[in-house]
Amino acid sequence: MARAIAYTEIGTPDVLQLINIPVPVAGPGEVVVGINAAGVNPLDAKLRRGARPSAPITEPRRVGFDGAGVVTELGEGVTGFAIGDRVAINNVLGTYATALAVPVERLVRLSDGVTMAEGAALGIPIGTAYQCLRSLNVSKGDTLLVHAGSGAVGQAAVQYATLWGATVIATGSPARFEQLRALGAIPVAYGDGLADRVREAAPEGVTVALDCIGTDEAIQASLELVEDRDRIATIVRGPDAAEFGIRAFSGGSPIPLTDEEVAWRDEAIALTVNLIEAGDFQIELGPELPLAEAARAHELIEQNGARGKIVLVP
């Protein structure tokens, strides 16, 4: 048998249970991946507690969308991958497990310079950040304001925008300023007077803003600082973004991503693997916990109790 984390009711982290499952079998166009690391994302916890809509639970519901591991079985018609290949899994439900059958189009090969934990940290955060910046047309000459720059999506946005020649202002707590500076951002603190502090850091103005935290302060500061509301986006306040006249990418938004935006999210993973290999991109890793401690991982992510990416290790 294989093992996986699942839940049968919406609720607190303790609804997560380690269960036995049949050993996955690769169908046509699939491979089986023995999972070495599973990335823990805020979305996982939001779905578990019912903060994001989902279908009624009719059978044990699996958890996790991002992971990394080694190919152990090839399905019919699979080419381009071999048993033993190191791969990252992008956007496939059920990565909190010891093994998973994965369509080959959801895999990216990992180079030797990228660890399994880094591979598991890519999917949702990297794809989201890259797509948001592409949708907002961030480029050289822009000044980008990233709210919650020290989170996983924020750090990715800071790095890509910097690579593309933009100036980046990133909000965070003072304890995270050193990390933000290391990524190329100008850090500013949250709290009263945020817009004034951003103006001081960017006297020539802010041209684009990305909200990764969802607070009223972040929304209002963005509206105050950025003239073109079509260049303000949130990944958290999807349900009410339209009331502010700003854009929302996922985050509970009733407007789905376009085919182009979905393609950008997928494109980002292989690009980032190459950048990590070249030493031009970094992933801040946090606690590694055993698969059986998935509930603890969700507690940490909901309490903002860990710096860096939380990873589960089967």
Same fold, 2-122+283-313 and 125-248: yes
Q: What is the pLDDT of residue 148?
A: 98
Break the chain into its structural domains and give their ranges: 2-122+283-313, 125-248
Q: What is the pLDDT of residue 221?
A: 98
Query: Model's pTM, two decimal places?
Result: 0.97
Q: Does domain 2-122+283-313 bear CATH number 3.90.180.10?
A: yes
Convert the pLDDT of each residue in 185-233 to its tens digit.
Answer: 999 999 999 999 999 999 999 999 999 999 999 999 999 999 999 999 9
Q: What is the pLDDT of residue 32?
A: 98
Q: Hey, what are 31's tokens? A: 């491979």
Q: What is the pLDDT of residue 135?
A: 98
Mean pLDDT in runs of 10 for the chain (314 residues)?
98 98 98 98 97 94 98 98 98 98 98 97 98 98 98 98 98 97 97 97 98 97 98 97 97 94 98 98 98 98 94 97
Q: What is the pLDDT of residue 86?
A: 98
Arch. (CATH architecture) of 125-248: Alpha-Beta Complex (3.90)
